[in-house]
Amino acid sequence: MLAACLEFMGLALCLTGSLLAMVACGLPMWKVTAFIDSNIVVAQTIWDGLWMSCVVQSTGQMQCKVHDSVLALTQDLQTARALTVISAVLGVVALTVTVAGAQCTNCIKDETVKAKVVNAGGIIYIVSGLFVLVPLCWMANNIIVDFHNPQVPPSKKREIGAAIYIGWAATALLLLGGTLLCCSFSQGVRGAYYPKYAPTKTITSNGDLSLKKHYV
């Protein structure tokens, strides 16, 4: 029962983390800045994301433009695109593997194999979380360095956007959930779940002794 509880908690955390990672990947708020034009007094907020850039006026009007060329993007944006997409794919694969080996399903009959499958799903979730963490930290570091760089014009300075914070939360959930799934593979947890057998001797009609296993 303990193994089933760990699997349920780990799968719930990992599923939530995967969804948050996909949301962070699609949001344009990776880099955010707010400034007031010196000539035309209009407050603007600029959002820079992995796939598009948006300008939000103080009146509430928003205009977004998709990045035209992938090769024209900076190296950190290209890497973030690739790693977040790979992380999302790994999340779907890990979900399929974990559900196949979960205690609540009958896709696999052998309990030992099911435990190994769940452990493999937990490892995939951990790798998925690491794939999200790398571009998040890289992007945040670049934002902080450029913000404190006096050679960067004020209009080009950016701040950490909401998408990065969502991505960090997704990473924490993926790593924690994957760890719980891996812990459910341990013998101390699984030992309480497996039924124990005790051999007993019985006499057949021919007078021979035979061994039978009964539940204890």
CATH assignment at residue 77: 1.20.140.150
Is 145 part of a structural domain of the chain?
yes
Is 132 part of a structural domain of the chain?
yes
- How far is Cα 165 from Cα 46, in angstroms, rounded to an integer? 17
Burial class (CB in 10 A: 0-12, 13-18, 19+), 44: middle
pTM confidence score? 0.79
CA distances from 177 to 11, 123, 158, 180, 187 (A): 6, 10, 32, 5, 19
Is 96 part of a structural domain of the chain?
yes
Is 38 part of a structural domain of the chain?
no
Is 166 part of a structural domain of the chain?
yes
- 24 and 213 in contact (C-beta within 8 Å)? no
| Domain that includes residue 130, residue range | 1-27+73-192
As for how many domains the chain has, the answer is 1
Is 67 part of a structural domain of the chain?
no
**Residues contacting residue 116 through CB under 8 Å, at least 6 positions apart:** 101, 185
Is 47 part of a structural domain of the chain?
no
Strand, coil or helix: what is 146? helix
pLDDT in tens, 161-205: 999 999 999 999 999 999 999 888 665 555 544 444 455 555 555
Q: What is the pLDDT along the chain (216 residues), one digit of tens a residue?
A: 777 788 889 999 999 999 999 999 999 999 988 564 454 445 678 888 899 999 888 777 888 889 888 888 888 899 999 999 999 999 999 999 999 888 777 877 888 888 889 999 999 999 999 999 999 999 999 999 988 888 888 778 888 999 999 999 999 999 999 999 988 866 555 554 444 445 555 555 555 544 444 444
Burial class (CB in 10 A: 0-12, 13-18, 19+), 148: exposed
Is 202 part of a structural domain of the chain?
no
Count the residues in the chain. Answer: 216
